[in-house]
């Protein structure tokens, strides 16, 4: 009876909008042949604002990998602790009730891991299991949910804390001048989210029944990182915009096999906010009513793409109007090209 409790989210105070990003492009790349097209795409992105851990003026002036790593560690620990405490409270549990911590983050690196820092700062039990996930990008939040489900399934005495932290602003490279670089800089953002998977059904939430992982062959270049002396350099291939038709048949068959429903007949969807095109394609390929993607679109508009954090935020928004007995399809997509999906019933 594994149940996802109400999540917690946190977004830093520094906000940016489309005009801010277009100003940065204008200043840093005044002669770029991609500027006009980038401005058109940014204005049509449906991202109204995003949150960063530092002012945009500081983002542009960032230093080397070591400097970025220190900023990442300080910000990641603070944000993770904030959302972890709230998520455990939302689940009606204490730190001694947590058996495993899964932490996801693809925008920075630290060792000891974020999970170890949380165990020390919040005084979790010394036998708490740890799973840090660093290389799954945007799909990592949904992947963590899948691994928590597998750990808790049929074990009502187990509980897992999932914490997602992303600082995409630390992946900014002033010299990156391709069209996809400009679009990435206007889409990705910073934030944190946490949720507890309870092994029992003693809380209101989404009771998961099944999960599945899918990796599509010959799609490795869709989403990549380069490791440079200035930190992680993100690369987003234009072909990622055509990824959903490859994934949609798996989502459809998954719903049919596990819920005996077509994907367009589930009561709500909980999709990672990949971007406007990704959400449009999900609607089209799965023949979804716009209402069923409203929380993902709202999350995109208000926070941009926060990588692994986003799907947990959309889950939080779904709590606002979910009714007992309704079904939900949860899915996210990331490098590999990988998809993680779960289905469940609200109760």
Question: Which residues are annotated as catalytic?
Answer: 138
Q: What is the DSSP letter of 253?
A: H
Residue 278's beta-bridge partner residues? none
b/e sequence 146-174, b meaning 16+ C-beta within 10 Å:
bbbbebbbeeeebbbbbbbbbbbbbbbbe
Q: Which of 214, 201, 317 is nearest to 257 (CA)?
A: 214
Tell me the C-alpha distance between 220 and 241, whole Å: 14
Question: Which tokens belong to 276?
Answer: 């406007």
Tell me the C-alpha distance between 248 and 245, whole Å: 5
Contact between 115 and 165 (Cβ < 8 Å) = no
Tell me the C-alpha distance between 296 and 253, whole Å: 22
Cβ burial, residue 45 (10 Å; 0-12/13-18/19+): buried
* Cα angle: 296, vertex 219, 287; to 5 degrees: 40
Contact between 329 and 270 (Cβ < 8 Å) = yes
Phi and psi, residue 342, nearest 5°: -140, 155
């Amino acid at each position: 009876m594994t149940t996802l409790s109400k999540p917690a989210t946190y977004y830093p105070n520094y906000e940016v909008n489309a005009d801010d990003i277009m100003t940065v492009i204008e200043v840093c790349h005044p002669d770029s042949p991609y500027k006009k097209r980038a401005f058109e795409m940014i204005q049509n992105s449906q991202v109204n604002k995003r949150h960063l851990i530092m002012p945009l003026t500081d983002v542009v002036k960032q230093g080397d990998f070591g400097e970025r790593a220190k900023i990442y560690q300080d910000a990641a620990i603070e944000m993770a602790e904030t959302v972890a405490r709230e998520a455990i409270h939302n689940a009606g549990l204490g730190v001694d009730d947590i058996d495993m911590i899964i932490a996801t983050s693809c925008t920075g690196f630290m060792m000891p891991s974020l999970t170890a820092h949380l165990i020390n700062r919040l005084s979790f039990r010394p036998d708490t299991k740890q799973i840090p996930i660093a290389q799954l990008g945007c799909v990592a939040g949904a992947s963590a949910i899948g691994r928590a489900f597998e750990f808790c399934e049929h074990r009502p005495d187990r509980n897992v804390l999932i914490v997602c932290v992303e600082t995409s602003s630390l992946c900014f490279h002033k010299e990156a001048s391709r069209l996809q670089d400009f679009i990435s800089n206007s889409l990705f953002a910073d934030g944190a989210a946490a949720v507890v998977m309870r092994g029992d059904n003693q809380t209101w939430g989404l009771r998961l029944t099944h999960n599945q992982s899918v990796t599509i062959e010959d799609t490795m270049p869709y989403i990549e990182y380069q490791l440079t002396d200035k930190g992680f350099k993100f690369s987003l291939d234009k072909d990622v915009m055509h990824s959903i038709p490859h994934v949609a048949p798996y989502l459809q068959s998954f719903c049919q096999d596990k819920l005996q429903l077509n994907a367009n007949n589930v009561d709500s969807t909980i999709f990672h906010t990949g971007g406007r095109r990704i959400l449009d394609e999900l609607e089209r390929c799965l023949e979804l009513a716009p209402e069923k993607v409203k929380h993902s679109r709202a999350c995109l508009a208000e926070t941009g793409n926060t990588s692994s954090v986003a799907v947990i935020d959309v889950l939080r928004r779904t709590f606002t109007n979910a009714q007992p007995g309704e079904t939900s399809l949860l899915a996210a997509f990331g490098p590999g090209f990988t998809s993680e999906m779960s289905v469940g019933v609200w109760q």
